[in-house]
Amino acid sequence: MELSKTTMKRIMLLIVFTVLLLVGIQRLEVVLGALGFLWGILAPLFAGAALAFVLNVPMSALERRLFPHAGEKKGKKKGVSPALARAVCLLLTFFLLALIILLLVLVVVAFMVILSLFSMIASGGRGGTGSVAPSTVQREPLPASAVEETGYYTDELGWILNERQLLSGMKAFYRETGVQPYLYITDNINGSYEPTAQEIGEYAAALYEQLFTDEGHFLLIYQEYDGYMAGYTAGAQAKSVMDNEAVAILQGYLDLYNTSDLTDEEYFGQVFQKTGERIMTVTKSPWPVVGGIFGMLLLVALCFFWWKKHKEQKNLEAQQLQEMLNTPLTTFGNDQDGNGRDDAEDLAEKYERTEKAPDSTGTGES
């Protein structure tokens, strides 16, 4: 069977394409690198074209508004040149764009401040000045077998008068995390009323061995004499939940509620309860909400500008129609060719000359 030239060309193109495809798959990194390099060159061009396209819409609108007769002659005087009109409108467009960006930034800042206030209210802060870090890790609670439940606190200073309030928050932490918390309240560490962070950490590690036989407890040492310091330690299994970020969140709640009007029992109960709630969920970012709000605002703005433009066009058509209806019919025969005579008279004279002219045979009338 003979193959035509067209079929041969198609087969050759298919072979070349297949070879190039195989080489591209085998050298995928090189191909991606080349595409990335090409995109790096073309990206500014695409960005510039997109920016020019977007800016041309408001710039054209400003030209029509501010310089409707640019380039036209008015008697002996010539109007504003189109180049100058475009340059002025371009500068005004950039100025308006900068104002819009500034307004958006101010709105974002105001929105973030409002979100922060709502977050503080939702966190139960009452007069606190601290801040609580977000939770960015999805944590799994420990199994019940990881903990041999013990007491929940030691109070060397006699602060805890309402045990129920304290245990309510600590047991809520236990239910959320599977880690049993333990609070140790004291005013000194090995006789020192101003211990260092290292001394508190070493004391906490030694105390953990004395108090617990499992690896599922979290021990908080709260030492206060002239100001407070806190030390922490956790069992090997508990550290999968009470990692550095979780401890930082607990420290944030300690600072947040420290200057509040809570009782001591409410203070420690709230700290543990809020910590358990936060560390076991990933804190949602407010940016999707912000983006959704700005998207809605942009959509509303676009709809408003379209409606306004549509209304202006309708008004213009109505105005033109009204002008036509108000124009007397006699004006339609006025001098349109600029010879100083009415066009209707010119037309009548033309037909009169045609009737008087001899016919094309030159015989004249019979």
pLDDT of residue 205: 94
Instruction: Please report which confidence band the pLDDT of residue 118 belongs to, taking 50, 70 and 90 as the band edges.
Output: low
pLDDT band at 365 (very low <50, low <70, confident <90, very high): very low
Question: Do 153 and 259 belong together in one domain?
Answer: yes
Read off the pLDDT band of 125 (50, 70, 90). very low
The length of the chain, given as a count of residues: 366
For 53, half-sphere exposure in the C-beta direction (CA atoms, 13 angstrom radius) is 6
Q: How many domains does the chain contain in total?
A: 2
Q: What's the pLDDT at 339? A: 59
Question: Are the beta carbons of 219 and 184 closer than 8 angstroms?
Answer: yes
At residue 321, the pLDDT reads: 80
- Residues 89 and 167 placed together within one structural domain of the fold: no
Query: Can you give the pLDDT at residue 348?
Result: 66
* 156 and 90 within one domain: no
Specify the pLDDT at position 128: 40
* Residue 60 falls inside a structural domain: yes
Q: Residue 196 pLDDT more than 50? A: yes
How far lies 356's CA from each of 6, 344, 353, 359, in Å?
72, 19, 5, 9
> d(Cα 296, Cα 110) in Å, to the nearest integer?
17
Query: What distance in Å separates the CA atoms of residue 308 and residue 28, rounded to the nearest whole number?
Result: 52
Average pLDDT over residues 239-244: 95
Q: Greater confidence, 359 or 12?
A: 12
| Residue 149, helix vs strand vs coil | coil
What global pTM score does this model have? 0.51
Q: Is there a domain that residue 195 lies in? A: yes
- When computed from its CA atoms, the radius of gyration of the chain, rounded to whole angstroms, is 42
pLDDT digits (tens, 9 = 90+) for 145-186: 999 999 999 999 999 999 999 999 999 999 999 999 999 999
Instruction: Give residue for tokens 């543990």.
Output: 272
Mean pLDDT of 215-239: 94
Q: What is the pLDDT of residues 252-275, one digit of tens each?
A: 999 989 877 899 999 999 999 999
Asked if residue 41 belongs to a domain, the reply is yes
Phi/psi at 183 (nearest 5 deg)?
A: -110, 130
Name the least confident of 164-173, 236-245, 312-321.
Answer: 312-321
Task: Find the range with the poorest average confidence among 103-107, 182-186, 190-194.
Answer: 103-107
What pLDDT is recorded for position 329? 56
User: Mean per-residue pLDDT for 75-94?
Assistant: 77
Say if 121 falls within a structural domain. Answer: no
Helix, strand or coil for residue 4?
coil
- Is the same domain home to 209 and 88? no
Q: Read off the pLDDT band of 116 (50, 70, 90).
A: low
**Cα of 1 vs its chain's centroid, Å:** 65
Average pLDDT rounded to a whole number, residues 341-356 = 63
Q: Please tell me whether residues 156 and 217 are part of one structural domain.
A: yes
220: in domain: yes
- Looking at the structure, do residues 89 and 156 belong to the same domain, yes or no? no
User: In which domain, by residue range, is 239 found?
Assistant: 144-279
Return the HEC string of 183-237: EEEECCECCECCCCHHHHHHHHHHHHHHHCCCCCEEEEEEEECCCEEEEEEECCC
Looking at residue 73, its pLDDT comes to 66
Domain end, chosen from 245, 279, 313, is at 279
